[in-house]
Amino acid sequence: MQALFLYNTLSRKKEEFKAINPPFVGMYVCGPTVYSDVHLGNCRTFISFDLLYRYLLHLGYKVRYVRNITDAGHLEGDRDEGDDKFAKKAKLEQVEPMEIVQKYTLGFHDVMREFNALPPSIEPTATGHICEQIEMIKEIINQGLAYEKNGTVYFDVEKYSKEFNYGQLTNRKLEELLEGTRELSGQDEKHGRLDFALWISAKPETLMRWPSPWGWGFPGWHIECSAMSRKYLGDTFDIHGGGMDLQATHHANEIAQSQACYHKTPVNYWIHTNMLTVNGTRMSKSAGNGFLPEELFTGNHPLLEKGYKPLAVRFFMLQTHYRSTLDFSNEALQASEKGFERLMESYKTLQTLQASSSSSENIAELQKNCYQAMNDDLNTSVLIAHLFDTVRIINSANDKKTQLTSSDITLLKKIYDDFIFDVLGLKPEKGNEKLDSVLEKVMRMVLEMRANAKTTKNFQLSDEIRDKLLAAGIQIKDGKEGSAWKI
RNA sequence: GGUCCUGUGGCCGAGUGGUUAGGCUCAGCUCUGCAAAAGCUGCUACUCCAGUUCGAACCUGGACGGGACCUCCA
């Protein structure tokens, strides 16, 4: 099998993936800030990394997948307002900040489960790692690359840039970065325009605060990921991921913090996923154009014509490459939903396929194509195109137009299990098993009755059965070997 | 303003120098008692202009359009 190539933001090229210590792989992904419901755009990122996680597992790697929960330290705009997003929301809802955190963390997990995303190996929280963050800030101060002012600690970007390349992830020079930044106002405590807070001093009314060498306060946003990734994955690890919106600020700062501490590049492969857009504009919390997964599943949203099943939505997302923007629309969703159903239907057909002694298809070639697509920077668009080839092959064989040997069928089943279920994380929508088995028996009976009506040329009755079943949501599919049905 | 990405058929969306992407839609055909399902075929796609090349959607230059980041965001 060929090697896996991944696009590395650091080099802006596809690079062959080589683990530091195979078969182990350390992967860190920036998780959600749990002060409100995750929207669909957030989900896309986590589904993309779920795909990478699943594929690495499929290839036999032992992956430690760390995805944090940000439950402290995110300020909303100007930091002078004192409270972070959690405390603000808590005041609004008149609850404890940790009630906010708990509520939206549970909600996030529910949604991820619906999308059939595997849970990460470790899901650390910022509030659970205050000590580690304080220790790391102390190290940066000891290196002379951070300074304290009135209980707040800042990272000194310009001083850091004398020794290290601050703009490496975004391919920009310090001067360019400075040009694009706002002037410091007279009241600013920061030395330099690009400096960012590592620790923020708390005001008396601040709800979430911890003691530190610099007084009561709370951590800045960027330090948590550096501290937690280092704790669980080491000074240098394999893969760090997140949305593209984090690249320029959050990830650039993460690299700076780690480099400042231990003078080593913290990550070998930086992977960034692209945004989900609505009518061409990025879906975001602040823009207010976000869909909640729940609204999508129920169809309860002015822009939605109907509800969509979670895995149909997952399939919709996987049809686009993770580094392309994906535009959200009813039409596109409905197209994906139909394709997804056809794919799942062919899996059922595959289970009932009769083997022939000869073969008219090259299934091994098809399997190779699937690996090739995935190895090319997880090209799921191409992978899915190949999978639709299998649909055609299966349906043709089912119609007795082509032949498959039993080893062909076995290999096809393996392709489905490997790529559709294990790697893409799709699966047929599960109903109630007991109900299904009863329905199966009832349907067998009904189809038998209809077949009898047809043999006696009582087409009025057979059509009535068909039409009434359709009205009830069951579609009859007549074939040479009798009739089948689907919901 | 700066940095960068992008412009593909009715819709979504791969491809990045010569060979079918794929899905959905629509039309025709095959199968069928009819329909559906399934299969086949078609709707002759690459924003525009100039250049490089035997050959360009793909490379280069320019124009126009869309978007992202530079401030919290997956």
What ipTM did this prediction achieve?
0.93
Nucleotides of B under 7 A from a protein CB: 1-4, 10-15, 21-25, 31-40, 66-74
With CA of A176 and C1' of each nucleotide, the nearest comes out as B2
Please report, rounded to whole angstroms, the spatial distance between the CA atom of protein residue A471 and the C1' atom of nucleotide B38: 22
Please report, rounded to whole angstroms, the spatial distance between the CA atom of protein residue A324 and the C1' atom of nucleotide B9: 20
Q: How many CA atoms lie within 13 A of A15 on its CB side?
A: 15
With CA of A248 and C1' of each nucleotide, the nearest comes out as B69
The reported pLDDT for the residue numbered A189 is 81
With CA of A380 and C1' of each nucleotide, the nearest comes out as B14
**CB within 8 A of A198, min separation 6: which ones?**
A137, A140, A146, A153, A154, A155, A219, A220, A222, A223, A257
Please report, rounded to whole angstroms, the spatial distance between the CA atom of protein residue A401 and the C1' atom of nucleotide B41: 17
With CA of A483 and C1' of each nucleotide, the nearest comes out as B37
Please report, rounded to whole angstroms, the spatial distance between the CA atom of protein residue A379 and the C1' atom of nucleotide B70: 30
The reported pLDDT for the residue numbered A78 is 45
Please report, rounded to whole angstroms, the spatial distance between the CA atom of protein residue A324 and the C1' atom of nucleotide B59: 22
- Pairwise CA distance, residues A389 & A393, whole Å: 6
Please report, rounded to whole angstroms, the spatial distance between the CA atom of protein residue A8 and the C1' atom of nucleotide B61: 29
The reported pLDDT for the residue numbered A470 is 83
Closest residue, by C-alpha, to the C1' of B66: A280
- Pairwise CA distance, residues A341 & A81, whole Å: 50
- Residue A1 near residue A71 (C-beta atoms within 8 A): no
Which of A314, A275, A318 lies closest to A296, judged by CA? A314
Q: Is A65 helix (H, G, I), strand (E, B) or coil?
A: strand
The reported pLDDT for the residue numbered A8 is 92
pTM > 0.90: yes
With CA of A44 and C1' of each nucleotide, the nearest comes out as B74
The reported pLDDT for the residue numbered A472 is 83
DSSP state of A322: T
Please report, rounded to whole angstroms, the spatial distance between the CA atom of protein residue A310 and the C1' atom of nucleotide B39: 30
Closest residue, by C-alpha, to the C1' of B35: A463
The reported pLDDT for the residue numbered A459 is 85
With CA of A345 and C1' of each nucleotide, the nearest comes out as B37
- Residue A263 to residues A61, A295, A310, A359: CA-CA distances in angstroms? 28, 46, 44, 59
User: Which residues of chain A fall below pLDDT 50?
Assistant: 77-80
The reported pLDDT for the residue numbered A117 is 97
